[in-house]
Amino acid sequence: MNKETIHARIEEIGIIPSVRLTSTEDALFAAEAVCSSGIPIVEVTMTVPGAVKIIHSLTSGSPDLIAGAGTVLDVETARRCLDAGARFLTTTGLDLEIIEFAMKKNVVVFPGACTPTEIMTAWKAGADFVKVFPCSAMGGPGYIRALRGPFPTIPFIAAGGVNQTTVAEFILAGANAVGIGGDLIHQEAIRRRERDWIRELSRRYAGLIKQARSEKAPPK
């Protein structure tokens, strides 16, 4: 898949499950459970032990899976992730060097940004999406709605505190997609190896996003 295809798939599916766990085994279990639910996207954060190896395992075993690297802090880590097969890069904060690197490698990148200044800077630097983080701490869906006024065309990914109660509100407020971690991949589901628990939540979130988009769409 090329950059344009990956960009389109992320926007189409509208949900980026984020795997941020404390062991390699738990992370692989979570990623595979999410992907088997019909969401072929997963972000493996660099805080997970063996994160680069996990990305390699996921991408080499499933060529249609869009596995990306999250919480990338420097270009060298970004390079190792791409070598392992990562198909997108995302950061918690705004790092212009990583955006520039991703552009040179023709890879989808969505940096974290919080303020209007950071959002403008990220977009002008060439970001494919701008990940508004931490969204809930800044006012939740209301913050996305407020940003939509001055930034009507920048594609936003709302991340940080998105849950079943608020996910539809974020979409209705103007988010193109959402990033979800612990509210999708529950620690208890991991501990008990409840694959169906994660699958059911994944399907539920996908359904909530689809319903919100249908409500948002203009009448034909």
The pLDDT of residue 219 is: 59
219 part of a folded domain:
no
Tell me the pLDDT tens digit for each residue of 120-165: 999 999 999 999 999 999 999 999 999 999 999 999 999 999 999 9
Pure H helices in 45-183: 51-61, 75-84, 96-105, 116-125, 141-148, 167-173
Measuring CA to CA, which residue among 65, 63, 108 is closest to residue 89?
A: 108
Q: What is the mean pLDDT of residues 4-12?
A: 96
Q: How far from 3 is each of 46, 62, 88, 103, 129, CA to CA, in Å?
A: 22, 17, 9, 10, 13
Q: Is 32 a known active-site residue? A: no
How far is it, in rounded angstroms, from Cα 116 to Cα 30? Answer: 34
Indicate whether 195 belongs to any domain: yes
Domains in the chain: how many in total? 1
Angle at CA of residue 72, ends 94 and 85, nearest 5° = 130
Q: In angstroms, rounded to a whole number, what is the distance separating the alpha carbons of residues 19 and 184?
A: 9
DSSP conformational letter for 200: H
Catalytic residue among 131, 194, 200, 216: 131
In this predicted structure, what is the pLDDT of residue 61?
75
Q: 186 is written with which tokens?
A: 């529950």
Percentage of the chain surpassing pLDDT 90? 91
If phi > 0 it is left, if psi is from -120 to 50 it is alpha, else beta; for residue 155 that is beta
173-216 pLDDT per residue, tens: 999 999 999 999 999 999 999 999 999 999 999 999 999 999 98
The reported pLDDT for the residue numbered 216 is 81
| CATH code for the domain of 99 | 3.20.20.70
Strand bridging mode 108-110 / 112-113: unpaired
Asked if pLDDT for residue 220 goes beyond 90, the answer is no
In angstroms, the CA 88 to CA 81 distance is 9
Specify if 99 maps to a domain: yes
Task: Retrieve residue 70's tokens.
Answer: 């999250």
Give residue-wise pLDDT tens across range 77-127. 999 999 999 999 999 999 999 999 999 999 999 999 999 999 999 999 999
- Is pLDDT of 218 > 80? no
Answer yes or no: 43 catalytic. yes
The residue annotated as part of the active site, out of 11, 43, 188, 216, is: 43
pLDDT tens digits for 48-63? 999 999 999 999 878 7
Q: Which residue segment(s) compose the domain that 94 sits in? A: 3-211
Rounded Cα gap, residues 132 and 129, in angstroms: 9
Distances (CA, A) of 167 to 82, 148, 194, 204: 30, 17, 23, 11
Domain assignment of residue 216, yes or no: no
Tell me if 220 is assigned to some domain: no
| 218: in domain | no
